[in-house]
Amino acid sequence: MNYLIVGSGVAALSGAAAIRKIDKAGPITLLTAETDPFYYKPRLPEILCNGVSAEQITVYKEKWYRANAIEVTYGDPVTSFDPKKKSVLTASQKTYPFDKLLLACGASASRLTIPGNSLKNVFTLRTLQDARAIAAAAMAGGQITIIGGGILALEAGYNLSKIGCKITVVEILSRLLPRQLDVPGAALLQRYLEEKGFTFFIGTQTARINGSGAVKSVSLKSGETIESATVLISAGIIPNVTLAQKAQLLVQRRICVNAAMQTSAPDVFAAGDCVEINGKTEELWQPALKQGAVAGANMAGGNQTYLSAEVHAASTTVADMQLVSAGNIDADNKSTVFVHETKTSYRKLVFTNGKAAGLILLGDIANSAELLACINKGVPGAVLSGDVIDPAYGEWNVLNA
């Protein structure tokens, strides 16, 4: 059996590892536009201030690929594939045959449709190459405007501030981290970052990026102009579905797969940020890891299914503030909640239909595993006290009931 994998991220590598666990001899080839071995993308912002090296965030070194007899072709992206002829074509006009194909194409950073988005020193951050380019531009210091107020944007800004850059963040919505934080949590984080020198324009939109050749300033629809030597656009991702569309696979917002991670074409599987299952998408590391493993196992003759019922947490650090966010964060204040607040932390457990359904832990993530277990078990609020959200709480017998 000859296996081809398009991509080299977490879904691709977990797929390759799952194949090799079952099929010890079948050729496995990864084809990728990347120029570096598989690395941990959530740590890319640390590259910006030389906080870590590329080697330090590399997950699998070259010896791992050799030990598992996995071939990787770097810097030669796939441009098309034929599911009937079972062949893949790359940018260098090389053709690769396959018996089983895994599309782990991931997603690309959105550059938004705003005037000036192609000027010099306007960046997105999705790859190591992006991080290196931003770091090189930021060495001169000066004002950096970040368009977007998500996790990646704020982490990038924080790391750039460590090398003397002045950071301004423009967020179109009414609060920072709108997918992970409610209003009180976002307000705490914003105050914390303002104390570190950040400037924020919240609830306003970028009108245009100004400059002749290179960026000089950013104009907002609210009327302000921000002098800027560098601009980072961090405004979400666009799933890479073009290959699947060209091959006439079933694609809606993303590549449609079933619970076995099979696409609409026989012997073609897909996993990670480029897929949806019953219209549902999950843009987190853990789901991509599990999806890739299921796809790889099934490509090698297994019979696994991906269960997306489990609530996965976004667990990260934003400017040295630890954050865990999962499930229903009750941003609209419609649910029963338990809350514990201090000047430096915000903790919230949300209940839907009487059962634990979501949480926010910012600044203090004590008991995060236990609280997440309450959500995945659907523990009734009736058996929990308000003290459960206190970081000092320690009575977890309810999880054994």
pLDDT at site 116: 98
As a whole number of angstroms, the distance between CA 233 and CA 128 comes to: 16
pLDDT value at residue 140 = 86
Answer whether residue 385 shows pLDDT above 90.
no
According to DSSP, the residues that pair with 286 across neighbouring strands are none
Q: What is the mean pLDDT of the chain?
A: 95
What the chain holds in terms of domains, given with CATH numbers, is 3-108+237-299 (3.50.50.60), 122-233 (3.50.50.60), 313-400 (3.30.390.30)
- Tell me the residue ranges of DSSP E strands in 203-285: 206-212, 214-220, 225-227, 230-233, 237-239, 255-257, 268-270, 275-277
Q: What is the rounded average pLDDT of the residues 388-394? A: 94
Residue 280 has pLDDT above 90, yes or no: no
Residue range 308-335: mean pLDDT, rounded: 89
Locate 377 and state its tokens. 């078990």
Rounded distance between C-alpha atoms, residue 36 and residue 65, angstroms? 13
Q: How confident is the model at residue 401 (pLDDT cuts 50, 70, 90)?
A: low
Q: Would you state the structure tokens that stand for residue 37, as one six-digit string?
A: 């071995």
Q: Is the per-residue pLDDT at 239 higher than 80?
A: yes
Q: What was the pLDDT predicted at 221?
A: 97
Q: Give the pLDDT confidence of 55-69 residue by residue, as tens digits.
A: 999 999 999 999 999
> How far is Cα 83 from Cα 355, in angstroms, rounded to an integer?
45
Q: Tell me the mean pLDDT in the region 23-35.
A: 97
Distance CA 150, CA 236 (A): 8
Flag whether pLDDT at 161 surpasses 70.
Answer: yes
Query: What is the per-residue pLDDT for 83?
Result: 97
Rounded Cα–Cα distance for residues 217 and 143 (Å): 9
Give me the pLDDT at residue 237, please.
Answer: 95
pTM reported for the whole predicted model: 0.93
Convert the pLDDT of each residue in 298-317 to its tens digit: 999 999 999 875 677 889 99
pLDDT > 70: percent of the chain: 99
Give the residue-averaged pLDDT of 252-281.
95
Give the per-residue pLDDT at 309.
58
**In 97-132, which positions are buried (b, 16+ CB within 10 angstroms) versus exposed (e)?**
ebebbbbbbbbebbebebebbebebbbbbbbbebbe
Across the range 15-36, mean pLDDT stands at 97
Tell me the average pLDDT across 25-35. Answer: 97
Region 366-387 average pLDDT? 92
Beta strands in 280-353 (DSSP E): 313-318, 321-327, 336-341, 346-352
Binned at pLDDT 50, 70 and 90, residue 400 comes out as confident
Q: Does 379 score more than 70 pLDDT?
A: yes
